[in-house]
Amino acid sequence: MWWLRRLFARSARPEADNALWLHLTCDRCGEAIRVRIDRRYDVASNLLDPGEEGPAYTVHKDVVGDRCFQRISVTLGFDRRMNIVERHVRGGRLQAEA
């Protein structure tokens, strides 16, 4: 039953503070979709020159819900303290983040 142990090990792993949940609504069918962003793995750091304006980190996700094949494209920009400073969503709407 190795797979069962693996399943438990995975679900028992602490989610910690690295998770950022996005709540999207699909433009096409209205489905509510929850997307998990991991601050360690999903975030790309932008190499800004000193004094250059713009987000220090960027996340890009393409999301497809269960109800239709609409692709929702999410791009978020973060400052150095990982606060969201830019939001761009195509194909859907961003409800909130927590």
Residues that bind Zn ion (CB under 5 A): 26, 28-29, 31, 65, 67-68, 70
Taking the least distance from each CB to Zn ion, the nearer of 67 and 93 is: 67
Burial of 70 from C-beta contacts in 10 A (0-12 / 13-18 / 19+) = middle
Q: In 3-state terms, what secondary structure has residue 48? A: coil
Taking the least distance from each CB to Zn ion, the nearer of 23 and 28 is: 28
CB of 27 to Zn ion, least distance (A): 7
Q: Which two tokens stand for residue 47?
A: 């190499």
Taking the least distance from each CB to Zn ion, the nearer of 27 and 39 is: 27
CB of 72 to Zn ion, least distance (A): 8
CB of 30 to Zn ion, least distance (A): 7
Q: Which long-range CB contacts under 8 A does 76-84 form with residues at least 24 apart?
A: 76/22, 76/37, 78/43, 79/55, 80/56, 82/39, 82/43, 82/57
Q: Which residue, judged by CB position, is nearest to Zn ion in the bound state? A: 26
Taking the least distance from each CB to Zn ion, the nearer of 26 and 74 is: 26
Q: In 3-state terms, what secondary structure has residue 98? A: coil
